[in-house]
């Protein structure tokens, strides 16, 4: 499914990540929306295999943005700048599921604004939302489960 949702800077950043071979997943509600969930979000959560990968900063700079790798305990990693804006959130851990290396092979291919990305599957997003246990995460479960059921329905072709 194609979704027109990216600014030119955001699109360029994802293209640059891909060109550099940086392994990442789109997770959270943005990944759910790409897979058909009728849910709204403004943030795009990115989960990187290796926050120390120099390709992340190179991709951000090539797109006219900034990459702050963060430091554990002091500040989280962040993406931004005039062309990237503030919609990309860097996720360092996804609750209720395995580590990146375990989840990446099961990721789904998707396209956002013409850019090929890998997204965390709906069933894994649901597992994470359940594990978090926050009311706002549980509020999203019906829409996520409905989207999963629609994806799993056999077609009559």
**Beta-bridge mates of residue 46:** 26, 90
3-state class (DSSP) for residue 111: strand
Its domain, for residue 73, covers: 2-152
Predicted confidence band of residue 153 (pLDDT cuts 50, 70, 90): low
Question: Would 131 be classed as within a structural domain?
Answer: yes
Look up residue 121 and give its two tokens: 């599957």
For 108-118, the pLDDT digits (tens) are 999 998 999 99
Give the predicted TM-score (pTM) of the model.
Answer: 0.86
CATH (domain of 101): 3.30.460.40
Question: Would 109 be classed as within a structural domain?
Answer: yes
Helix axes 54-62, 8-19, angle to 10 degrees: 140
For 59-103, the pLDDT digits (tens) are 999 999 999 987 656 678 999 999 998 999 999 989 999 999 999
**CA-based nearest residue to 37, from 102, 129, 114, 105:** 129
Whether 155 has a pLDDT exceeding 80, the answer reads: no
Question: Would 56 be classed as within a structural domain?
Answer: yes
Most confident of 5-9, 17-21, 95-99: 17-21
- Better-predicted residue by pLDDT, 33 or 147: 33
3-state class (DSSP) for residue 76: coil
How far are the Cα atoms of 21, 24, 36, 45 from residue 90, in angstroms, in the given order? 17, 10, 23, 6
Question: Would 32 be classed as within a structural domain?
Answer: yes
Question: Would 122 be classed as within a structural domain?
Answer: yes
Question: Would 8 be classed as within a structural domain?
Answer: yes
Q: What pLDDT is recorded for position 140?
A: 74
3-state class (DSSP) for residue 28: helix
> Residue with structure tokens 């509020």?
139
Q: What pLDDT is recorded for position 142?
A: 67
- Better-predicted residue by pLDDT, 137 or 32: 32
Alpha-carbon distance of 3 to 92, in angstroms, equals: 25
**Structural domains counted in the chain:** 1
Whether 1 has a pLDDT exceeding 80, the answer reads: no
Residues whose CB is less than 8 angstroms from the CB of residue 30 and which lie 6 or more positions away in sequence, other chains included: 5, 41, 43, 44, 45
Predicted confidence band of residue 12 (pLDDT cuts 50, 70, 90): very high
Q: Could you give the dihedral angle defined by the CA atoms of residues 57, 104, 27 and 136, in that order, rounded to the nearest 10 degrees?
A: -130
Question: Would 83 be classed as within a structural domain?
Answer: yes
Question: Would 157 be classed as within a structural domain?
Answer: no
């Amino acid at each position: 499914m194609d979704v027109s949702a990216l600014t030119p800077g955001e699109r360029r950043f994802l293209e640059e990540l891909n060109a550099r071979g940086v392994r990442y997943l789109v997770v959270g509600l943005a990944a759910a929306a790409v897979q058909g969930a009728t849910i709204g979000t403004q943030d795009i959560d990115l989960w990187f295999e290796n926050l120390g990968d120099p390709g992340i900063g190179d991709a951000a700079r090539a797109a006219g943005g900034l990459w702050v790798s963060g430091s554990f305990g002091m500040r989280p990693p962040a993406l931004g700048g005039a062309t990237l804006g503030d919609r990309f959130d860097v996720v360092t851990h996804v609750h209720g599921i395995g580590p990146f290396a375990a989840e990446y092979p099961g990721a789904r291919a998707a396209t956002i604004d013409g850019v090929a990305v890998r997204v965390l599957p709906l069933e894994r997003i649901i597992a994470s939302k359940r594990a978090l246990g926050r009311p706002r995460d549980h509020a999203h479960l019906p829409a996520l489960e409905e989207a999963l059921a629609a994806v799993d329905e056999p077609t009559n072709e």
